[in-house]
A and B are shown apart, each in its own frame.
Chain A
Amino acid sequence: MMSAFVYSVSQITSYIRSLFLQDDVLQSVWVEGEISNFTRAASGHCYFTLKDAGAALSCVIWRAQAARLRAEPRSGDAVLVHGAVSVYEQRGTYQLYVDLLQPAGVGQLFVEFEALKARLEAEGLFAAERKRPLPPWPRRIGVVTSADAAALRDILRTLSTRYPLVDVILASTLVQGVEAPPQIVEAIARLNEWSRAREPIDVLILARGGGSLEELWAFNDERVVRAVAASAIPVISGVGHETDFTLVDFAADLRAPTPTAAAAAATPDATALAVRVTELRERLAGAMMARLATSREEVARRRRDLERSSPLTVIANRRQRVDELARALQARMRYDLTLQRARLEGARARLEGLSPLEVLQRGYAIVRLADSGQIVRSTQQAVPGQALRVRVADGEFGARAE
C-alpha cells in the first residue's frame, strides 16, 4: 500500500525532531555512562559518546558549556550528564546536547542538590525580595570560616588593606566533613547572639576556599542554607572559586565568588574614602569662602544703608531745620516790629492830642520870662517892666509886664 502522502527526507526528519522537542523527559534528562572518543573541535565544541554495556549515545557540549568544564574528561571516565536529546537533521542522528557534566561518583549528590535547590526555591528561600541591603559602612564584621585556612587570611588581608576601621569577630568552624554543617549553623547562631546581646555586628561573611564538589558540600547542606536565610545579620557568601555555586550562595544576601571578593563586597574602600574626605574638606572651605563673600557684600550694603541714616545726615537735616526755623523767626520778628510801629504811631497821635499847641489853638497863650524862658505861673513872677515872651498858636511875640 502506498501512503497517501510522500515525505521528503527533510520533512520526515523535521517531523521526528518535533516529536523529540515535545517530549518532557528528552528535554531535561540526567544520564550516567562512560565517556569514549572525547574530542574538542577547533571551534571549541566537544563531542563524545556515552556508553554502557548495552548502548551508546552521541553527545555534544557547545563551546560555552565546555568552557565551564573543570577538567577535560577522558575516555573511560564515568560521568553524570544533564541535557536535552534532539535530532541532528543533517546526519539523521539523535544526540544529547549536554549542559552539565559531573564525575559519576557525585552523581547522587548532584541529583540531591538539584532536588533540594528546587524545594528551597519553591519555599521562597532564594527570592530576590528576601535579599537585604548591606550596610555601606560596616563597623563590625562577623566571619564564619576555618581559623587556620587560607580563606581567613585572604579575608583579613583584604579587610586590613581595604577598610582597617572595621572590627572583626571570628567564629571558627570546620568547613568540610559531616561535622561542618552543625558547626557552621552554630557559628552563625553565636555571632547573631553576640550581635544581639553584646556588640552589634553589621554583616557576616561565610567563607571557604576552593575545593572539590565534595569538599564544598557543607555549603549545600539544608541546615546551613536555612541558617543563612534565618540570620538576623545580612550574610555574604564567599565559597570556593568563581565557578562554584552552592546553595548557600542562593540563600545569602550577596554571593561573592571568593573569600577575598566577599571581604571586598562587605566594605567600602578606604583609599576612595580618603579622597572623598579631601573633597569634602575642599567643598567646606569653598562654601565658607562663599559665605564670607556674602557677608562682605552684606556689610557693603549695610554701610550704604548706614550712610543714609548717619548722624552727619541727621545733622545736615537738623541744620536745614534750624535755617527754616530762623527764617520763620525773622518773619515773625518783622511782623511784630511792624505791629509795634503801628502801635507807636497810634500812641503818638494820641499824645499829640495832648500837646499844648492844641490848647493854644483854642486861644490860650503861654507866657515865659524873656530872659530865663521860665513859664510864668504866678503873678509874683511878673514884676513891672519884666520882659516877657508870649506864645500863641501861630507864633510868639514880646511883651512887658505892668
Chain B
Amino acid sequence: MEPTATNMQSGVELSFEQAFEQLEAIVRQLEEGGLGLEEALTLYERGMALAALCSQRLDQAELRVRQLLTTASGEIIAEPFGGWPET
C-alpha cells in the first residue's frame, strides 16, 4: 500500500494544521541531516504525502457553517446554517 499521510497515523485523519506542522518538522529534520538513508527516504516519502495532503485540503476546503439552536427539550444542538451561502 502506498504511504499516505492519512494511513500513517493509524488511520486518524490529519487536520491541515497537523499535516502542515508535521511537514515543517520533517523538512527541518531532513535539513539538519544526520539521518540514515533509509530513514531519510521514509521521511521524504511521508513529507511528500503530507505536502500533497496540505494542498488537497486547501484546494477542496469549503466553509462549514452551523448555528447553535435550543431544541424543545432544552438541548443545545448545532444545525447546518441555511443563511449561507448567500444567494
In Å, the complex CA distance between A292 and B44 comes to 11
Q: Which residues of B contact A139 (CB under 8 A)?
A: 15, 17
Partner of A288, one of B30, B78, B85: B30
Q: A169-B66, A190-B76, A191-B68 are in contact. Are A287 and B48 (CB under 8 A)?
A: no
A164 within 8 A of B: yes
With the chains together, A278 CA to B52 CA distance in Å?
10
Contacts of A137 in B (CB 8 A): 16-17, 20
- B58 CB, nearest partner CB in chain A, Å: 5
Q: How far is the CA of A190 from the CA of B66 in the complex (A)?
A: 14
Q: Taking A169-B66, A295-B37 as contacts, is the C-beta distance between A274 and B17 under 8 angstroms? A: no
Contact A284 B58 (CB under 8 A): no
Q: Is the CB of A152 closer than 8 A to any CB of chain B?
A: yes
Q: In the complex, A194 Cα to B78 Cα: how many Å?
A: 9
| B contact residues around A164 at 8 Å (CB) | 61-63
- B27 touching A274, Cβ below 8 Å: no
The interface residues of chain B lying within 8 Å CB-to-CB of A283 are 27, 31
Q: Do A194 and B31 form a contact, CB below 8 Å, given A168-B65, A291-B40?
A: no
Question: Do the beta carbons of A156 and B84 come within 8 Å of each other?
Answer: yes
- C-alpha spacing A154/B51, complex, angstroms: 31
Nearest-Cβ distance from residue B45 to partner chain A, whole angstroms: 9
Could you mark each residue 266-295 of chain A with 1 if its beta carbon is under 8 Å from any beta carbon of chain B, else 0? 000010011011101101110110111011
> Is B83 on the interface with A (CB-CB < 8 A)?
yes
Closest to B57 in A: A165
- Give CA–CA (A191, B68) in the complex, Å: 8
A148 at the interface (CB under 8 A from B): yes
- Check A194/B20 contact, CB under 8 A, given A148-B83, A169-B68, A283-B27: no
**A198–B77 alpha-carbon span in the complex (Å):** 10
Q: Which residue of A lies closest to B81 (CB)?
A: A170
Q: Are B64 and A167 in contact (CB under 8 A)?
A: yes
B27-65 contacts to A, CB under 8 A, are 27, 30-31, 33, 35, 37, 40-41, 44, 47-48, 51, 54-55, 57-58, 61-65
Query: Which of B15, B37, B86 touches A153 (beta carbons < 8 Å)?
Result: B86
From residue 159 to 173 of chain A, which have CB atoms closer than 8 A to chain B? 159-160, 164-172
B67 at the interface (CB under 8 A from A): yes
A306 to B49, CA, bound (A): 37
Cβ A284 vs Cβ B47 within 8 A = yes
Q: How many whole Å from B49's CB to the nearest CB in chain A? A: 11
Q: Would you call A230 an interface residue if the criterion is a C-beta within 8 Å of the partner chain's C-beta atoms?
A: no
Pick from B27, B58, B65: contact of A270, CB below 8 A: B58
Let me know if B83 and A274 touch, CB within 8 A: no
Give every chain B residue within 8 A of A152 (Cβ-Cβ). 83-84
| Pair B78/A169 contact, Cβ less than 8 Å | yes
B contact residues around A277 at 8 Å (CB): 20, 23, 51, 54-55, 58
Question: B33, A280: Cβ atoms under 8 Å?
Answer: no
Decide if A159 touches B63 in the complex (CB within 8 Å).
yes
Q: Give Cα distance in the complex from A164 to B16, angstroms.
A: 11
Is A291 a contact of B33 with CB atoms below 8 Å?
A: yes
CA distance A148 to B17 in the complex (A): 31
Q: How many Å lie between the Cα of A107 and that of B21 in the bound state?
A: 53
Cβ-based interface call for A147 (8 A): yes
Interface presence of A193 (CB below 8 A): yes
A198: B residues at CB distance < 8 A: 78
B37→A156 contact, CB < 8 A: no
Please state if A165 and B58 are interface contacts (CB–CB under 8 Å).
Answer: yes
CA distance in complex: A277, B23 (Å): 9
B52 to chain A, nearest CB (A): 9
Cβ A168 vs Cβ B51 within 8 A? no
Not counting A137-B20, A168-B81, A284-B27, a sample of 14 additional A-B residue pairs whose C-beta atoms are within 8 angstroms of each other reads A153-B84, A165-B16, A165-B57, A165-B58, A167-B66, A168-B64, A169-B67, A190-B68, A270-B58, A273-B20, A277-B58, A284-B44, A291-B37, A295-B37
29 A-B interface contacts by CB (under 8 A):
A147-B81, A153-B86, A160-B85, A165-B15, A166-B63, A168-B64, A168-B65, A168-B81, A169-B66, A169-B67, A169-B68, A169-B78, A170-B66, A170-B81, A171-B67, A190-B68, A190-B76, A198-B78, A273-B16, A274-B55, A276-B20, A280-B27, A280-B51, A281-B47, A283-B31, A284-B27, A288-B44, A291-B35, A291-B40
B→A interface (CB under 8 Å): 15-17, 20, 23-24, 26-27, 30-31, 33, 35, 37, 40-41, 44, 47-48, 51, 54-55, 57-58, 61-68, 76, 78, 81, 83-86
